[in-house]
Amino acid sequence: MIGHVLNTARKVGVQQLVCVIGHGADQVEAYIRSECEGSATPTFAQQDPPQGTGHAVACALPLLPEDGQTLVLYGDVPLLSPETLQGLLDCANAEEGMALLTANLSQPKGYGRILRDDAGRLTGSVEEKDATEAQRRICEVNTGVLVAPTARLRKWVGQLTNQNAQGEYYLTDVLAMAVRDGVPVATRCCPDPSEVQGVNSQSDRCRIERAFQAQLAQRLLDAGVQLADPARIDIRGSLQCAQDVQIDVGCVFEGTVVLSEGARVGPNCLLRNVEVGPNARVEAMSHLEGCAVGPRAVVGPFARIRPGTELGEGAQVGNFTEIKNSSLGAMSKASHLSYIGDATVGERVNIGAGTITCNYDGAHKHRTIIGDDAFIGSDTQLVAPVVVGAGATLGAGTTLTSDAPAGQLTLSRARQTSISRWKRPKKTAH
């Protein structure tokens, strides 16, 4: 959540970030430092013990310069858009005072209510626990997100008291102070109330996650991506889609995923840090991680492609085939029930069902090299390190322990024998 908030703050040009941390401070700080790798790291203010939002801002203000404005955001409100925040900043600049983000909620329970006079001018805000019954019927709520001149904010925060139902220092009390001091207080109503939802429970987290996924799905639809069902997609990183991409239901995208023009992803697939080439297909129930799928290649259904794998143009990896740290050349096929690990496979190679590259001797990994146009028969084991020459054929059931010459048939089988007088054992009756 805090990562989303930090990214949004950067997008509106915030020059200095101060993160107020308390519970789990070490974990939060470590995450933020890793999240900010390559960009300016925020400074940190410790709030211990926590005594309300006003107290949190009081902890941060000594780390900020006297001039300029302070924008207050919340680490558990992750869906605020840069456009909404920029509109709030524009309001503050136009009024040369304070600006507050509000929202109209049909069910405002739990939020502070905005108070206005008969002329509609803001007079302050009241927390729900301190509100009267009439005030609780107000649907315009205080999101807590505000921007104010830093010098004035420092003065107002210094005047806060904790004389309220929760015994906390409310940041919202500075609104009435601004009105008292004649400082203009502009309000901007958030156009989408889901942007200001906060997380106070696992139910809240799930609801906000679905709202976030709905936003991402809508962006894909607006860009021309064909989603079978926008409600059944999970993007847990960055998903870049070109034109004419199709994504079926139940797919999960993690890390950085790139789907090129005309790519198809079937139902219930997981793609993590994957590039899928033009017009390639990932069929149902496939799991891809750290790999590149070439143009017009086909993966699955029920395939697993592990890190370090590159599939060439038109390559095919079929059901219940696993490939790891290997390259499969253009038009090569591993269609059924095979394991290809630490292998370099040339072009137009056919790998039969049940093939295994025996790449691990218990201590070290070894590589298998298969030349162009080779044919690997079913139920074959290639005990690495081993080389199969171009155009070679391995007979079904072969256990290859030495290099196979190019253009020749290589096989290793026990001679087939039939015993005419053999009888099958019979069970003894009890």
Q: Which of 213, 205, 214, 248 is nearest to 228 (CA)?
A: 248
The amino acid that residue 300 corresponds to is G
Q: Which of 383, 390, 378 is nearest to 349 (CA)?
A: 390
CA 266 to the chain's CA centroid = 19
Task: Name the CA dihedral angle for 105, 106, 112, 113, rounded to a multiple of 10 degrees.
Answer: 90
Q: Please report the DSSP string for 122-165 in residue order.
A: EEEEE-GGG--HHHHT--EEEEEEEEEEHHHHHHHHHT----ST
Instruction: Quote the CA–CA distance of 174 and 46 in Å, as a whole number.
Output: 22
Contact call for residues 376 and 388 (beta carbons, < 8 A): yes
CA 306 to the chain's CA centroid = 19
The amino acid that residue 94 corresponds to is A
Instruction: Quote the CA–CA distance of 259 and 246 in Å, as a whole number.
Output: 9
Helix (H) or strand (E) holding 11: helix 2-11
CA 12 to the chain's CA centroid = 22
Instruction: Quote the CA–CA distance of 147 and 13 in Å, as a whole number.
Output: 14
Among left, alpha and beta (phi > 0; psi -120 to 50; other), residue 318 is beta
Contact call for residues 376 and 352 (beta carbons, < 8 A): yes
Q: Would you call 336 a catalytic residue per the annotation?
A: yes
Catalytic one of 336, 364, 366, 430? 336
Give catalytic residue positions. 336
